[in-house]
């Protein structure tokens, strides 16, 4: 079924967190197996926006040109607070002078392909059903189930859970939850052709939010966010009507523009989930991406942090010490908690527009600290560029 019976690392999940982790480990010369239950290149729930830290890493890994080839560059952001708008031009910085919002059919494929090019064995249509353990409880591998129903035992020095919010690795290891958020937002989104908005546009009114994000193929992702209790109370209302209603509350002009645009897919609903931070590692296992840390999507920072944690973990594994893994966890937690706190406050919808501006300033400070840390990693070692060459 697989090329080997024993690997240095088994990565469970081959989307942005898992594929990036597999790629970086393979670039170090490790024997890596990366599995995912989904079909290669299939779409997943996402509003696509990458922030500075994510773009910086794709640039460092040599993958940004593949993304930029088909994804429009974003060089400014507009925050619409009720009737007031604040436009921010993106300054050149680590990773370049633009942001990008690739569809997951693009980003996940680029990362999975890069993992394979680096030497990782990437297999879709397989999922984890059981962890193997040594005599002292250390995780030593896994039982993997293929689409054909065949079970295979694979030994691994490290099992990495990159398998999302409902992570099997987190569940099977009993990874403790260290922090739980209090709030969540519900989000309805869809893709549209014929919108002429440039850059990232975020709309805010008390009790609702919306966003317009340019992505591939001339399309825009347009989301409408609201408290989950309102979504549940609207169960008898047509989803399209609720979506349009929230957009109109945020911006009548935006709602009109969407009405005139051509739909490019169905409306997708995320009912909301409170943010959390799980323990990052244990004997023979580690977590990256949503498997280890999730925050409300209103701050559009999930993909960026998935790439961040992939690199932090891969660098820790390169040192091959428990202390390095402990440092990974400490760094991840220190950078994640301020982002989680700001996201949780924004997801509460219990703010005035002036309060919201303060939350956004706190978010901006946390994002800047994250970028500074990631840029410092680039200066400290060239292993990623050398292995990518």
Identify whether the C-beta of residue 288 lies closer than 8 Å to the C-beta of residue 278.
no
pLDDT per residue over 19-62, tens digit each?
999 999 999 999 999 999 999 999 999 999 999 999 999 999 99
* Rounded Cα distance, 170 and 280, in Å: 9
Residue pLDDT, tens place only, 236-256: 899 999 999 999 999 999 999
Task: Give the position of tokens 């989930």.
Answer: 273
pLDDT of residue 6: 98
b/e map 3-20, b = 16+ CB within 10 Å = eeeebbbbbbbbbbbbbb
CATH topology of domain 6-71+100-181+273-388: FAD/NAD(P)-binding domain (3.50.50)
Q: pTM, whole model, 2 decimals?
A: 0.96
- Average pLDDT score, the chain: 96
Considering the chain, tell me which residue range(s) the CATH 3.30.70 domain(s) occupy.
186-270
pLDDT of residue 94: 86
> Which architecture characterizes domain 186-270 according to CATH?
2-Layer Sandwich (3.30)
Q: Which helix (H) or strand (E) holds 309?
A: helix 302-319
Q: How confident is the model at residue 389 (pLDDT cuts 50, 70, 90)?
A: very low
Instruction: Tell me the C-alpha distance between 356 and 342, whole Å.
Output: 10
3-state secondary structure 142-185: EEEEECCCCEEEEEEEEEEECCCCCCHHHHHHCCCEEEECCCCC
DSSP string, 344-369: HHHHT----HHHHHHHHHHHHHHHHH
With 0-12 / 13-18 / 19 or more C-beta atoms within 10 angstroms meaning exposed / middle / buried, residue 344 is buried
Residue ranges, CATH 3.50.50.60, the chain: 6-71+100-181+273-388
At residue 387 the predicted structure's pLDDT band, cuts being 50, 70 and 90, is very low
> What pLDDT sits at residue 385?
57
Beta partners for 209? 204, 225
* Residue 386 confidence (pLDDT) above 90: no
């Amino acid at each position: 079924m697989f090329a080997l019976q024993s690997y240095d690392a088994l990565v469970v999940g081959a989307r942005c967190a898992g594929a990036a982790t597999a790629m970086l480990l393979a670039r170090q010369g490790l024997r890596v197996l990366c599995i995912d239950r989904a079909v290669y290149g299939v779409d997943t729930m996402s509003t696509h926006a990458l922030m500075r830290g994510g773009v910086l890493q794709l640039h460092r890994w040599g993958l940004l040109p593949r993304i930029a080839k088909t994804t429009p560059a974003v060089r400014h952001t507009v925050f619409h607070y009720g009737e007031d708008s604040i436009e921010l031009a993106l300054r050149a910085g680590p990773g370049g002078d633009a942001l990008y919002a690739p569809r997951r059919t693009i980003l996940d494929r680029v990362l999975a392909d890069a993992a394979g090019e680096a030497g990782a064995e990437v297999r879709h249509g397989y999922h984890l059903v059981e962890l193997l353990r040594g005599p002292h409880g250390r995780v030593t591998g896994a039982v993997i189930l293929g689409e054909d129903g065949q079970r295979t035992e694979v030994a691994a020095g490290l099992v990495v859970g990159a398998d999302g919010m409902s992570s099997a690795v987190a569940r099977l290891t009993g990874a403790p939850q260290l922090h739980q958020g209090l709030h969540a937002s519900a989000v309805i989104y869809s893709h549209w052709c014929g919108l002429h908005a440039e850059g990232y546009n975020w709309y805010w009114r008390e009790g609702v939010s919306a966003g317009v994000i340019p992505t591939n193929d001339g399309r825009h992702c347009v989301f409408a966010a609201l408290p989950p209790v309102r979504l549940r109370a609207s169960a008898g209302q047509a989803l399209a009507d609720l979506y349009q209603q929230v957009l109109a509350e945020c911006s009548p002009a935006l709602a009109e523009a969407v009405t005139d645009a051509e739909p490019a897919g169905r409306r997708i609903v995320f009912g909301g989930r409170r943010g959390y931070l799980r323990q990052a590692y244990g004997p023979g296992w580690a977590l990256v991406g949503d498997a280890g840390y999730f925050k409300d999507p209103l701050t559009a920072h999930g993909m960026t942090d998935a790439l961040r944690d992939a690199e932090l973990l891969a660098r820790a594994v390169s040192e091959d010490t428990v202390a390095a893994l402990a440092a990974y966890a400490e760094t991840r937690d220190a950078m994640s908690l301020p982002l989680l706190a700001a996201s949780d406050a924004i997801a509460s919808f219990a703010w005035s527009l002036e309060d919201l501006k303060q939350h956004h300033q706190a978010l901006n400070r946390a994002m800047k600290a994250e970028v500074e840390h990631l840029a410092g990693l680039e200066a400290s070692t060239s292993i990623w560029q050398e292995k990518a060459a």
